[in-house]
Amino acid sequence: MHADNSILLYILELLAAAVIAIPIFHRLGLGSVLGYLVAGAVLGPWGLKLINEVEELRHVAEFGVVFLLFLIGLEMKPERLWVMRRMVFGLGVAQVLITALLLFGVAQFFGFPLKVSIIAAFGLALSSTAFSLQILSEKGALTCTYGRASFAILLLQDLAVVPLMAMVSLLSGGETLTSSAGVGLLEVSAGIICVILVGRYLLNPILDRVAASRNSEVFIAATLLMVLGIGRAMELLHLSMALGAFLTGLMLAESHYRHQIEADIEPVRGTLLGLFFMTVGMSIDFGLLIKEWHWVLLAVAGLLFIKASVLWVLSRISGLDNRNALRTALLLSQAGEFGFVLFGLALITGVLLPERVQFLTLVIALSMVTTPFIVKLGDWWLNLTAPDESET
């Protein structure tokens, strides 16, 4: 009973913080993401210390990212994704590899061990799907030129989960490089093919049967079961659960139940995603920040500069104009939530020491915190320099 009371108390505290913070930050024109971050920091271990189980909450909150990807897949048809293949596999791959190479060089310059440099470089090269897509959604920019480019890069980063996990296993002395790469490729291919087949031939017939019952609660339960079930199956194959949810949404994009599913899932997605942003705010280690503030700020600034520069150059090469290239670069300049997973795995396997994981986690969290400010600064600059230029 005591544990149940603690969970209930946490829920009440989170809801109260959200209800207070979000309207204030909207009124200030700063957006909901920053409001959630501040609310989390206030509630967390370095604020009022009302919530200390940050990791446990983050595992639940990551379902918000899963449902976000599902809804985006629901709004996108397979034909449209095929049109984006050049950006996904061209711009996306180039961004990850070039950014990781530059970050690896910086880490080596400062004398970090080879294995640490490799894992840190790839972990920080990935951007935050949750932050980026939430900001795009709030601005109604998912279908804009830079919104499509940003999404293509984020989708490729989700596909990179398997090879990066295999890389950590290799560096820890686990599987050989050949077997890791081969198994990873087979898992990606098999998982995607299975989701496509299930989506084509099973999902809509199942929804037809459920809808025939004329029970809205059962319909919602069936939808949640599909999203989480397929996502979990993909996770068992060492793929991203969010990627599985996206593919599930993609297969239902032409379903006549699409609008009903969207209306049912949206409140769940919004609540869990808000919780995810709050857990990021809670994970900021202000003690380490105060102690190592100069190195932390240098690392965050260097990361943002390197990623934004690479993204801007690659976006221009891929055909985006300067305005859209700059928006893409600023939106994706932060590190992402997958870095938490990758560095956590490296800690478990003994490749990274706890103090290095704490430092890298802090860098990720602070880079995420900067995202709303950087995007707003970019909007201000673009409106100042080219106020009449319209987006497409």
pLDDT one-digit tens code per residue, 181-213:
555 566 667 767 777 777 777 777 888 888 888
What SS3 string covers 256-321?
CCHHHHHHHHHHHHHHHHHHHHHHHHHCCCHHHHHHCHHHHHHHHHHHHHHHHHHHHHHHHHCCCC
CA-CA-CA-CA dihedral for 190, 193, 195, 199, to nearest 10: -160
Cβ–Cβ < 8 Å for 338, 126: yes
Residue 376 CA to chain centroid, in angstroms?
20
Which tokens in the block code for residue 212? 């025939």
Q: What is the pLDDT of residues 306-362, one digit of tens each?
A: 999 999 999 999 889 999 999 999 999 999 888 887 887 788 778 888 888 889 988
Query: What is the per-residue pLDDT for 234?
Result: 78
- Nearest partner of 125 among 162, 171, 93, judged by Cα: 93
Task: Provide the percentage of residues in the chain whose pLDDT is more than 90.
Answer: 19
Q: Which of 9-13, 99-103, 142-146, 373-377 has the lowest mean pLDDT?
A: 9-13
CA atoms of 137 and 39, how far apart (whole Å):
21
Query: What is the per-residue pLDDT for 5?
Result: 58
Q: What angle do CA 8, 10, 14 make, to 5 degrees?
A: 120
Query: What is the per-residue pLDDT for 177?
Result: 46
What's the mean per-residue pLDDT of the chain? 82
Task: Provide the percentage of residues in the chain whose pLDDT is more than 70.
Answer: 90
CA atoms of 258 and 262, how far apart (whole Å):
6
| pLDDT mean over 299-304 | 95
Q: What is the pLDDT of residues 60-79, one digit of tens each?
A: 777 877 887 788 778 777 77
Of residues 226 and 61, the one with the higher pLDDT is: 226
pLDDT tier at 98, thresholds 50, 70, 90: very high
Q: Which of 157-166, 342-351, 358-367 has the lowest mean pLDDT?
A: 157-166
Query: What is the per-residue pLDDT for 135?
Result: 87
pLDDT tier at 284, thresholds 50, 70, 90: confident
Query: What is the per-residue pLDDT for 327?
Result: 94
